[in-house]
Chain A
Amino acid sequence: MSEHIGRRRFLGYVLAAPTLVTAAELSLAPASAAVPSAEITELLDLNDLMTVAALPTSGLISVAVNADGTVSFALPRAEVGQGITTSSAMLIAEELSVPLSRVRITLADARPELLFNQLTGGSNTTIATYTPIRVAAAIARSRLLQAAAGVLGAAPGDLTLAAGVVTDRSGRGVDIGALAQRAASAQTGQVAVELTPRESFTVIGRPTNRIDALEAVTGRKKFAMDLAVPGALPTMVCRPPTINGKVGSVANLAEVRAMAGVTDVVTIATGVAVRAQTFGQCIDAVRALRVTWRAGTAEGKSDASVLRELELAEIPLGLRPPTPVVEGKFTFHFRSNGAVEPNCAIADVRADRAEIWSALKSPIVAQETIAARLGLPVGRVTVHVAEGGGSFGRKLFFDAALEAAEVSQRIGKPVKLMWHRADDFRQGRAHPMATSRVRIAYLGDAVLSYTQRHTSVATDLGHGLGEIITAFAAQLPVGDIGFAETFFQLSQNMPYEFGLNSRLLSEVDKGFNTGSMRNVYSPDVACARELMVDQLAARRGRDPYQMRRAYLRDDRAKAVLEKVAQVGNWGRAMPAGMAQGIAFHAEYKSVSAALVEIDCRPETVNRPIRDGVAGPRVTRVVFAVDVGLAVNPRGLEAQMMGGIMDGIALALTSGLHLRDGYFLESSWDNYFYTRQWNTPPDLKIIVMPSTSENPGGAGELGVAASVAAVACAYGRATGVMPTTFPINHATLSFVPKPTVPPIPASPIDGATAAR
C-alpha cells in the first residue's frame, strides 16, 4: 500500500518496463474502527469500509510516461458522467507537472486481482484514488528528474520540471517523452516519495473543463453501442408482460426468423432474443413474436398491495414518550434509475473464450458471474469497461452483459444487445418503494430523541458492494445484522443534536428488480427527516433555518447552511402560493445545504405542457457544498446540478406506477424526470473553500438535500406537508402503452411532428 512514512512521504513502486512505469497500491490507510458510539458514521462510514475492504487484497495502479511525451493511466473505475477521468487526469497533471492535455485516461478492463477494489459506487472514487494516483505520478516525476540529470549533466536539484519539460539553470530543456525510456527501470523496486503540499497546488482545486468534452460535443465519444465489433449485429429481447415473467412457448419462431433482416431468434432466460441487421428490424421482430408467458415474480401486485406489505413489515416506533412529540409517515413510490443510454452490452462468446464490452461499475463481479454462466474459467472472459451514458446506480449491475453473453453463446455469433426504452422502465431496475416513519420527542427547548423506521422493498446489493459489506460486517460495532442494515447504518448520519437517535431499516419482498439509485436510502430518509424538522420548528414557533442552525453538530455543517440562507436571502417575502424551503444533508465525508424557492400557484401548476407534467415550478435553487477538498470545483458543481435535478424529479414528478404486476411507464413521456420546463431558471451552486487535506465524495451527494428542500418548500407554499412522493403520484398523467407486444411500434412522424 502507499504507506504513509512521515509527513507527505509515501511508498510506491517503479516497475520493470521498457518505458517509465510507476505505481502505487490502490488503497489508503484505514480509519481505525474505535469504540462503538451512538453515531457510528463519525467513526467509520461507508467510504471507510470500502477503503478498508481493499487493504489486504489491492493490486497496483500504474502511470506510464510514453515516448511521445504523453502520460497514460488506466483507471479501474467506470466513467458514467461523473467526471472522474478528468479529476484523475488533474491529479496526474499536478504531481507530474505535465499539461492536462498530455494525460490520457482509459478505463481498465476487469482486473480480478483488484478484488473489492474495482467497484464504482458509494461516491468513493476520488476518496480511494486521491493518494495512490498522486504517489505514482510523483514517483514518475522524480525518476524523470534523475534521468534528465544524466542527459543534461546537472544535479537533479538544479532541474525543474514544468509543462512536461525538464529545464536546467541555463535554460536547456528536454521533453519528458525523450526521457521516458531512460527513466525506465529494469527491475521493480519500492520508492519513497513526497507529495506536493496542498498550498502549492496549481491544478488540483482549479475549476477545469472535462477532458472528454470535445469528443462528446462532436459525436466522436464512443459508448458501448457505438463500438464497431466485427459481426456484432443488433439484438433485442422480447420481454414478458409482467415483471420477470418467463417464456412458456413461442408460436411463430420460423415466421419471425424469416422476417427481413433477421438472422437469429432464440429463447433465453429472460425472454426471446432476436438478432438482425438493424435495431429497427429487431423492434419489428420482437413485436411480431407470439409468446405464451408464465407468471413473474410480482404477479398481480400493485402500489396499494406493496404498501400493505410495507405496513405489515414496519418496525414500531416504540412506546410513545410522555413528552410532546411530532410524528410523520411518508411514502416513496418506486422510481426508475434508468439512464438515457439503456441497458446494453456487446458480447462475443467463442467455445473457449469470451469478450464483453459494457459500461460496468462492478466489472469483476460481472466477469465472474458471466464466466460461471458460460461455463468458462474466469481468465478466459475478458471484460472491457466502456464509457457509460449515465448510471445513477443502474450500471452497478450487468443485466444486459449477462444476456448478451447468453445469446452469443447460444447462437455462436457476436451480438450487440440493447434494451428498448420500454424494457428499461418495465423490466429494468427500480429504486424500491419505501415508507419512512419519524418521531421527534421534545420538551421545552430540548430535543430528547429522534426515531426513524424505514421500511422498504428489498434493495438488491448483489453487485459486489454487498460482498464487501458482508465480509466486513462482523468487524463493525453494529452487531450481527445483515448487510442491507449495515449499509443503511453506515450511509446514514444524524446531523442534528437531537438527543437519543435510533434508526432502523426493515426490508420486504425480493420479487422486484431493484438496485441502489443515486444516493440510495438518503433521498427518502433525509426528505422525511427534514420535513419533520420543519414540523418541529412550526410546532415550537421557530424559524426552520434558525432551528436547524441551532441544532447542527459541526461547523462545516453550519457554514453551508448559513451560506445558502445568506445567498438565498432566506425569509424574503414571497407571494401567496410561493415559498422557500431549506434542508441539510451530510454524507460521503461531505456536507451540503439547499435553499429552494417554489411556485405552487394554480396558474403555474396548470400551465400547459404537451405530453408532460407541469406541476409546481422550482424557480430558484441555492446550493452550498463542502467536500473537504474539491479536486475539480467545476465538475463538483456539475454533480450538484445533476443531484438538484434528481431532487426536483423525486419530490415532484418522477415515479413508477405498479399495477397488475408491471410498471405502467414505458417512455420518457410517462416517467417524468425533470425536463427543461421543470428546471429552475435561477440556480446558484457554491463550492465552499477547502476545509480538509482530503476529498470527500460528491457524485451522489446533491440529491438528498435537494429533494428535502423541494418538499419543505412545497409544504410551506401550500400549507400542507406532503407525505407521498412524488407528490403527483395519485394522478396518472399518461395513457399506458400495452404490454403485448412489449415494445411500441416505431412512429413515422419524426420529420413532421411538432418539435
Chain B
Amino acid sequence: MPEHTFRVNGEQVTVDVADDVRLLWVLRDILGITGPKYGCGVNVCKACTSHLNGVAVSPCAIPVGELRPADEVTTIEGLAATVGRELHPMQQAWLDQDVVQCGYCQPGQIMAAVDLVRRAAAQGRAITDADLDSLRNICRCGTYFRIREAIKAGARNM
C-alpha cells in the first residue's frame, strides 16, 4: 500500500493506506485524532472542518493521496498551538458565550469561524451579518445565535 507523508498539528506523520481514502478517516481511524467529526461525508455539514495550510477544508472530501510532505493539517486539537496559547481566542470566545450544547458540531464550527475571521481580516474588514449567514456548518442543537455572538467576540481578540 502507498505511504503518505504530511504534517498534522505540527508533527510529521506517515500513513500506509490507499490513495483515495479520505483524510477524515486517516485522521480518525488511523491516527486516532477524533476532534474532527463525521456528520455527512459529502462536504455538506462541515462537522469535519479542519485547516489545510491555514485554510478551512472538509477532510471527508479530500483523498489522502493529494497531500504532500509539506502540507500542514490543523485539526481542532492543534488550533491553540497555532497561536502559541492554551486556547485560541475563538475557543475562549466559545467558552465565554457558553456556546456548546452537545458539542458534536463545535470543533467544525470553531475551525470554520477562525477561517471566516481570517478571510474578512485579509480583506481589511470586520465580520458582517452577511458573513455569519454564509457559514454552512449544521448545528442540530441550534446554537447558531451564540455562535454568531462568539465569532464577533473572538474576532476582536484575533
A residues at B contact (CB < 8 Å):
80-83, 209-210, 212-223, 225-226, 228, 234, 260-261, 277-281, 283-284, 338-342, 387-392, 418, 420-421, 611-612, 634, 638, 641-646, 667-669, 673-677, 679-681, 683, 743-744, 746-751, 753, 755
Contacts and interface: CB of A to CB of B under 8 A. Distances in A.
Interface string B90-102: 0100110011111
Interface in B143-158: 143-148
B91 to A, nearest CB: 5
Given A418-B38, A667-B40, A755-B136, A261 B63 contact: no
B153 to A, nearest CB: 13
A677 B43 CA distance: 18
B42 A81 contact: no
Nearest to B57: A751
DSSP class of A's interface residues: helix, strand, loop or mixed?
Answer: loop
A609 to B, nearest CB: 9
A746 B37 contact: no
Contact of A677 (B22, B34, B75, B133): B133
A289 to B, nearest CB: 17
Contacts of B18: 260-261, 281
27 contacts: A82-B101, A209-B95, A216-B103, A217-B99, A218-B80, A218-B87, A219-B35, A219-B77, A220-B77, A279-B41, A280-B20, A280-B24, A340-B139, A421-B39, A641-B142, A673-B138, A676-B132, A743-B41, A744-B41, A746-B41, A747-B42, A747-B60, A749-B43, A750-B23, A750-B62, A751-B58, A753-B58
B66 interface: yes
Nearest to A79: B102
B34 A219 contact: yes
Contact of B21 (A226, A280, A751): A280
B112 A755 contact: yes
Contact of A645 (B20, B107, B142): B142
A278 B144 contact: no
Contacts of B142: 641-646, 674
A392 B104 CA distance: 14
Contacts of B34: 219, 222, 225-226
A755 B45 contact: no
A636 B143 CA distance: 13
B26 interface: yes
B143 A641 contact: yes
B11 interface: no
Interface string B21-57: 1111110111010111111111111010000100011
B98 A638 contact: yes
Given A340-B139, A641-B143, A679-B144, A280 B25 contact: yes
A751 B39 contact: no
Count chain B CB atoms within 10 A of each CB in A83, A281, A283, A746 and give the residue with the most.
Answer: A746
Contacts of A83: 101
Contacts of A80: 102
Interface of B: 1, 17-18, 20-26, 28-30, 32, 34-45, 47, 52, 56-63, 66, 75-77, 80, 87, 91, 94-95, 98-107, 110, 112, 115, 129, 132-148
B37 A668 contact: no
B147 to A, nearest CB: 8
A641 B150 CA distance: 15
A210 B76 CA distance: 19
A219 B107 contact: yes
A420 B21 CA distance: 16
Nearest to A86: B98
Contacts of A81: 101-104, 141
Contact of A279 (B36, B38, B112): B38
A593 to B, nearest CB: 18
B19 to A, nearest CB: 10
Contact of A217 (B39, B106, B133): B106
A217 B95 contact: yes
B23 A676 contact: no
Contacts of B146: 638, 641
A223 B106 CA distance: 13
B37 A277 contact: no
A668 B23 contact: no
B101 A421 contact: no
A751 B29 contact: no
Contacts of B102: 80-81, 339-341, 387-391
A679 B148 contact: yes
Count chain B CB atoms within 10 A of each CB in A338, A340, A342, A643 and give the residue with the most.
Answer: A340
A668 B40 contact: yes
A359 B26 CA distance: 24
Contact of B143 (A212, A420, A642, A677): A642
Nearest to A753: B43
A359 to B, nearest CB: 9
Contacts of B29: 234, 277-280
Contacts of A668: 39-40, 44-45, 138
A341 B101 CA distance: 13
A203 B93 CA distance: 23
B21 to A, nearest CB: 4
Given A213-B100, A338-B140, A677-B134, 12 more contacts: A214-B95, A219-B107, A220-B77, A280-B22, A281-B25, A340-B37, A340-B39, A389-B103, A421-B45, A641-B145, A746-B60, A748-B63
